[in-house]
Structure 1
Amino acid sequence: MNVETSRLLLRRPHLADVPALFEFLGDVMAMQHTHADGSLQECRRRVAVHEWRRRHNGYAPWTIMAKSEGRIIGWGGLYDDPFDPGWGTEVAYFFHPSVWGHGYASEMVAACMGVADYPLRPPEVRAFAHPANAGSQRVLKKAGFELVRFVPEMDRFLYRRVWQDLRLAT
């Protein structure tokens, strides 16, 4: 399933996307608050493993395209992390540094929460943010996530958003 917002196209990754994704997923500075891929092969493996999980779960991170430019600017979405399992459905996002501060993370997370609420409906969606990543913490709070606790072994704050039946709110 592809998802469109006013400025973004969220679509399934293709192996041909990997070099563009590696520009930031492999950039130690861009990924300073999380894991950076050490090689193009490692990035390709990350994308392939998540795509395998998409076939199993029905969801996984998307390649994020800026519609106005038609270029890859990010990678993220809903997933059950195959590399750190046991946290349930999570949302995560990673963007090229050239687009930081443009509100794309908030737009992408809002689209993900729409997919989570309908049709997926997991009991909750979780997210992690590094203590030094104030921007990511703001994105999560804006999307209705609440701080649960600090997870010392990950050096991250754990956030969650419970499923919301928005049909009942009207």
Structure 2
Amino acid sequence: METTENLILRKPENDDFERFFEINRDPQTNLYNPSGPMNIEKAEGTFKRMQEHWDQYNFGGWTIIAKENKSIIGFGGLSYKMYGEEEKLNLGYRFAVEAWGKGYATEFTKKAIEFGFTSISKEEIFGIVRPDNIASVKVLEKAGMIRIGKLNDVPGQPESLVYRIQK
């Protein structure tokens, strides 16, 4: 378990799935997601992969909890992801709408980067963001990540922006 000033980050538990699905099926949280809101099958598969990543690497996506009311407000963390042909350590997150605009994403991102460099001794961390997702672009930049290029990861859509931070 990790903590920040306002957040508790812990390994996902089976009981978290309902909230995971609730957040990921919300059209608002998927405004910039080309595949759109998750259906139950996609959510189950994604949640299972998140748990398997923990089993394999002893880190991964966390359940993100607000300290003030102990509610689950999102999911995110570091996990291995294919960037075209290359596997990279990817920082990703998705927050519930009610958690937006409170600085949680920036606080979370800074903690995830610190965790990557200190707790698991990684040299670099990457992030992918859709070009029109200005809020997430700002979060990555506030956390010290630098745009290093683009990735054509969604057929027929503008290229995603690739960010990186090095230790």
Instruction: Report the TM-score when normalising by structure 2.
Output: 0.88
How far apart are residue 148 of structure 1 and its match? 0.7
**Relative to 1, partners in 2 of residues 1:83 and 1:63: Cα closer, same or farther, differing over 3 Å?**
farther
**Relative to 1, partners in 2 of residues 1:84 and 1:149: Cα closer, same or farther, differing over 3 Å?**
closer
How far apart are residue 27 of structure 1 and its match? 1.7
Of 147, 154, 160, which aligns to 1:156? Answer: 160
**Whole-angstrom distance in 2 between the partners of 1:152 and 1:132:** 15
**Relative to 1, partners in 2 of residues 1:67 and 1:11: Cα closer, same or farther, differing over 3 Å?**
same
Please list every run of at least 4 consecutive aligned residues from structure 1 whose deviation after the TM superposition is greater than 2 angstroms. Answer: 34-42, 81-87, 152-155
Aligned-pair identity (%): 24
CA contact (8 A) 2:80 2:90 kept: yes
SS at structure 1 position matched to 2:28:
coil
How far apart are residue 10 of structure 1 and its match? 0.5
**Relative to 1, partners in 2 of residues 1:75 and 1:124: Cα closer, same or farther, differing over 3 Å?**
same
Q: What's the Cα RMSD here? A: 1.9
Unaligned runs of 5+ in 1: 164-170
**Whole-angstrom distance in 2 between the partners of 1:138 and 1:159:** 11
> Which deviates the most, 63-72 or 115-124?
115-124
Q: Per-residue displacement from partner, 1:55-108 (whole Å, max 9, x unpaired)?
A: 212211001011111111000011113797733111111000111111100111
**Whole-angstrom distance in 1 between the partners of 2:128 and 2:83:** 14
Instruction: Give 1:145's aligned residue.
Output: 145
CA contact (8 A) 1:49 1:82 kept: no
**Whole-angstrom distance in 2 between the partners of 1:47 and 1:85:** 23
Unaligned runs of 5+ in 2: none
Instruction: Give 1:30's aligned residue.
Output: 29
CA contact (8 A) 2:82 2:88 kept: no
**Whole-angstrom distance in 1 between the partners of 2:152 and 2:53:** 27
Instruction: Give 2:16's aligned residue.
Output: 17
**Whole-angstrom distance in 1 between the partners of 2:17 and 2:83:** 18
Q: Per-residue displacement from partner, 1:39-62 (whole Å, max 9, x unpaired)?
A: 234212211112111121221100
How far apart are residue 141 of structure 1 and its match? 0.8
Give the AA of the match of 2:66: A
SS at structure 1 position matched to 2:88:
coil
The number of residues matched between the two structures is 162
